[in-house]
Structure 1
Amino acid sequence: MKKFLLIIISIAILSAYKVETKKWSKSDTFYGFLKKYSIPISLYYDLPGNIKRKVKRIRIGETIFLLTENNRLKQALIPLDDKNQLQIINKNNKYLTKIVPIIYETQKKYIEVTINNNLNYDLYKATNLRSLTNKIINIFSDKLNFRYIPKNTKIKILYEEKSRYGSVKQIKVLYASIFNKFYQYNAFLNPYDGRYYDERARSLKGMFLPAPLHYKRISSKFGMRLHPLLHKWRMHDGIDYVNRIGTPIKSVADGKIIYKGWIRGYGRVVKIKHRDGYITLYGHLRGWPKGIYVGKWVKQGQIIGYLGNSGLSTGPHLHFGVMRYGKWINPLKIRKSAKITLWGKQRKNFFAYISTLKKDYNIALK
């Protein structure tokens, strides 16, 4: 990125061009951008369909790069997402476009902070990064209640910071440790699966999300119940989450879709197979997003359907069931019991990685 900017700036000095960066504001539109720099509107219509959609949704606050001469655009770089940007080049008054990768400046930073006030205040004071607190809370959320952290608790963080034109765009925590006289918790990001593990290769979080959606209430729990439509006592092999129709439904863990379709009273269903013999079922769906099909591998938190009222149902809700080795189990009990520990080659690779990390950054575990 620095070399690229030096070349552009050198050209600008020699040719009296003007180099500038500009923040995309709430009032900016791609049409307005083309009009401002006298670029034919045909440039927009010649873009591929997916790029047309993206230029309509350029994020507010994004930094765009401009090279102009007498207010006439010679080149522009406009970010479309976190990876790619639209390049516009004026070549003999003909405008060419192509998609090029965004080049970030990457730095690794290591900090040690004592929590004397609260986590958010002390971390921001030390790093000037508001998002770092949320990342730390998310990493340790199954281990700590951050409302009750003792004073003089210390936290160590090694993180990777990606910036563009001096503005921080992405933060990735590689290692974090929270300790005081009562406890110590360590977390290492495993580059092979994206999860956080302690120094003994045990995951800090359970295998499953707490729930597959944001819900208003649970209308029916796991166990025997009087069926609201059949008026018979029957085993309810899952739990029912109530919310409005169309609420996104997320896979609670990494896995492979093994069924998508209609199953009698469940209505529209997605079934996902996970590691260690687990299968999850999402019933009464309204429908599915594009790209959801049998055989597809999905990540934890990926949207696999939308809440509906299909099948034998008294109202909009999600029926969520969990099976292990062919037997239905209570979904409310799996979050803490289903932990992940690395074994075999995965464990060996993880230990080799954190050994290098500790050596390179002089990380000493208490």
Structure 2
Amino acid sequence: MKKFLLILLVPIFALAYKVDIKTWGHKDTFYDFLKNNSLPVSIYYNLPSNLKRKVRRLPIGEKIFILKDNNILKQALIPLNSKEQLQIINNNGKYITKVVPIIYDTEIKSADITLNNYLSYDIYKTTGIRKLSSKLINIFSDKINFRHIPKNTKIKIIYEEKTRFGEVKDVKILYANIKNKQFNYQAFYNPYDGRYYDEKARSLRGMFLPAPLHYKRISSYFGRRFHPILHKWRMHDGIDYVNRIGTPIHSVADGKIIYKGWVRGYGRVVKIKHANGYITLYGHLHGWPRGLRIGQWVRQGQVIGYLGNSGLSTGPHLHFGVMHYGHWINPLRIRKSAKITLWGKRRKQFFSYIKKFENEYQLASK
């Protein structure tokens, strides 16, 4: 946003424009915004249908930028999501709307922390950012049991901080090092694939997420079981995760959507093909995000559906199945069975990047 404000700096002072920055509340509507700023309702009706849907679901808590001259709106910037905003411009009484990118102020920061109390408190006390501890735990979750991490553990974090109107909107860890007498782990963010690797180009996490959702419990495991609806013994080729209807379902790995639709007892289903012969199935869905389509590539952690109760189901849950080269396997065994190590050109590219990164931020080698 810094670039945008610099552009507006001269007209603001020259014409005595008034700048308002308001927070979008949970009761606010786009219609009320137009009405409160004496704007014609035709602005909404002239929007494309996809934009109409977005302005009906504007993110709560986001800051709205309004520029006025003698109480007449000259320009407004309304965030639609984390990347785009709707721009409204008053051109001599004619209103122009277009979608423009949100420009953030970005800054690279560094923090050195000694664990004296507990992780989230010590990181927040040093940085003032609550998100950093959960992001750090997520990076090292396959390596470190954070419930039993010893005191006096040394933690170094280099992170990118994104702000808008002085408010921290997001942070991305670029490098992290956690060391004590028991272990010494490093993590480098790889900008070429969005994953974290150690200094030997080995992924900090496996190919798969531990589970495709936040769940309350597992109601059925992989193996033979007495089917609760069909009342006979049969093979259960997946795991049933229980939670509320509408809980987001995430792709457990990078891959390509090969099916989206209805499959007999599974109800609404999404199937994703991954590397090394793996296919994952997500069944009994309530629905899926708008725009999700067959042939689309998705990233690990991307929302591909919502927990439901479709098909042959005794209650809201997700049926999660994993196939490897045509055979169903136990999903609980895939977490550590498929690791990622960079080779060839990708390995050389990564080493070149971290060498430059270490020199730039004066990181001492292990």
Could you tell me the TM-score, scaled by structure 1's length? Answer: 0.89
Q: Aligned-pair distance for 1:338?
A: 1.9
Question: Shift of residue 195 of structure 1?
Answer: 1.1
Is 1:100 aligned to 2:95, yes or no? no
Amino acid at match of 1:42: S
The answer (yes or no) to whether the contact 1:154–1:179 under 8 Å persists in 2 is yes
Counterpart amino acid of residue 101 in structure 2: P
2 CA distance for matches of 1:213 and 1:261? 20
Quick one: distance in 1 between partners of 2:86 and 2:110? 34
Partner AA of 2:156 in structure 1: K
Closer, same or farther: CA 305–105 of 1 in aligned 2, 3 Å = closer
Name the counterpart of 1:278: 278
Mapped partners of 1:287, 1:16: distance in 2: 50
Change (3 A) 1:140 1:16: same
Corresponding residue of 2:31: 31
AA matched with 2:197: Y
SS in 2 for 1:294: coil
1:1-366 to 2 correspondences below 5 Å: 1-228=1-228, 233-263=233-263, 265-309=265-309, 313=313, 316-366=316-366
What is the DSSP-based 3-state SS (H/G/I as helix, E as strand, rest coil) of the residue aligned with 2:336? helix
The whole-number CA distance in structure 2 between the counterparts of 1:58 and 1:310 is 29
Mapped partners of 2:181, 2:232: distance in 1: 56
Indicate how the Cα distance of structure 1 residues 117 and 38 shifts in structure 2: closer, same or farther if over 3 A, else same.
Answer: same
- Tell me how far apart the structure 1 counterparts of residues 61 and 308 of structure 2 sit (CA, whole Å): 36
Aligned residues: CA RMSD: 2.5
Deviation at 1:216, TM superposition (A): 3.6
Q: 1:333 to 1:55 in 2, by over 3 A?
A: same
The percent identity for this pair of structures is 71
Amino acid at match of 2:271: K
Write out per-residue CA displacement over residues 78-131 of structure 1, whole angstroms, 9 at most, x where no aligned residue: 222212222222222222222222121211112212121222222222211111
**Distance (Å, rounded) in 1 between the aligned partners of 2:178 and 2:123:** 13
Which deviates more from structure 2 when the two are superposed, residues 183-192 or residues 67-76?
67-76
Counterpart contact for 1:75–1:87, Cα < 8 Å = yes
TM-score normalized by the length of structure 2: 0.89
Closer, same or farther: CA 47–225 of 1 in aligned 2, 3 Å: closer
Distance 1:275 1:168, change over 3 A: same
Q: Which secondary structure does the structure 1 equivalent of 2:345 belong to?
A: helix
Given that 1:9 and 1:19 are in contact with CA atoms closer than 8 Å, whether structure 2 keeps it comes out as no
Question: In terms of mean alpha carbon deviation, does 90-99 or 236-245 score higher?
Answer: 236-245
Change (3 A) 1:304 1:122: closer
Q: Deviation at 1:248?
A: 4.0
Q: CA 1:90 to 1:312, structure 2 compared with 1: closer, same or farther past 3 Å?
A: closer
Aligned residue for 2:174, secondary structure, equals strand
CA contact (8 A) 1:206 1:336 kept: yes
User: Using the alignment, how far apart are the partners of 2:60 and 2:232 within structure 1?
Assistant: 55
**What is the number of residues matched between the two proteins?**
366
> Max radius of gyration: which structure?
1
Q: What letter is aligned with 1:280?
A: T
- 1:352 and 1:189 mapped to 2: Cα distance? 13
Change (3 A) 1:262 1:79: closer
Go from structure 1 to structure 2 and tell me whether the alpha carbon gap of 1:247 and 1:165 turns closer, same or farther (over 3 Å shift).
closer
Change (3 A) 1:365 1:325: same
Instruction: Assess if the C-alpha contact under 8 Å between 2:2 and 2:104 holds in 1.
Output: no
Unaligned ranges ≥5, structure 2: none
SS at 1:320 equivalent? strand
Name the CA distance, whole Å, in 1 between partners of 2:236 and 2:62.
49
Q: Which SS does the other structure have where 2:138 is aligned?
A: helix
Task: Summarize the Cα distance change of 1:119–1:315 in structure 2 as closer, same or farther, 3 Å threshold.
Answer: closer
Name the aligned partner's letter for residue 11 of structure 2. I
For 1:325 and 1:176, how far apart are their aligned partners in 2? 36
Q: Distance in 2 between matches of 1:165 and 1:350?
A: 34
Instruction: Name structure 1 gaps, 5 residues minimum.
Output: none
Task: Give the C-alpha shift of residue 192 in structure 1.
Answer: 1.4
Instruction: Report the CA distance between 1:232 and its aligned residue.
Output: 5.0
CA offset at residue 157 of structure 1? Answer: 0.8
Deviation per CA, 1:40-92, whole angstroms, max 9, x where unpaired? 22222222222223223333332222222222222222222212222222222
